[in-house]
Amino acid sequence: MAEAERIIGTPDSAGAEEPAAASDETVAADETATPDDGTAAPEERPRGRRRIVALFVVAVLAYLLDLGSKMLVVAKLEGHEPIQVIGDLLRFDAIRNPGAAFGMGEAFTIIFTCIAAAVIVVIIRLARKLYSLPWAIALGLLLGGALGNLTDRIFRSPGVFEGAVVDFIAPAHFAVFNLADSAIVCGGILIVILSFRGLDPDGTVHKD
């Protein structure tokens, strides 16, 4: 009887060993597989860092150009006659603008300050997923322009978060603006173009 039980139980024992072996193979395969923990593969990380660096380089350049031009305008042009650059088509004329870009919304200075700060926070958060160079340039222009005007809002008179922005570029039959406004507009236009082309900030292209 014991011999019969041994013979009958042999297939079950063999079958029990096979899943164990398969389980060992699965564990080994899992150990060699790339972990799916949300981290980028090693070859993707340098690409991502390059795009983030490009964003901040563009932002710093836009910010420094805007800040330098405003300092020069305040020191050399404010309180003086406008400078004719291209006849009657373009002149430099220093003014203080308490409103938004192009002199709009003068009664909402604090609101525009909060909006600019929110835009900066959103761009910085989005930078972590940035893999597209055109998007890096566009967001860098937006970031540099927003920082430029926000600096005026915080540090210029009449007070913190209520400061008037320095504008000086005065085309004929158009509102006076500055380099920060130009950077914001150019960045916005580029984002619209990229969106129409289906290019996302992470570098993927989608088709509607």
List, for residues 106-141, the tens digit of each pLDDT value.
555 677 778 888 989 999 888 888 999 999 999 999
Q: What pLDDT does residue 100 have?
A: 59
Q: Which of 114, 116, 96 is nearest to 106 (CA)?
A: 96
pLDDT of 58-74, one tens digit each? 999 999 999 999 999 99
Decide: helix, strand or coil at residue 173: coil
- Known catalytic residues are 167, 181
Cα–Cα distance, 49 to 52 (Å, whole number)? 5
DSSP type of residue 207: -
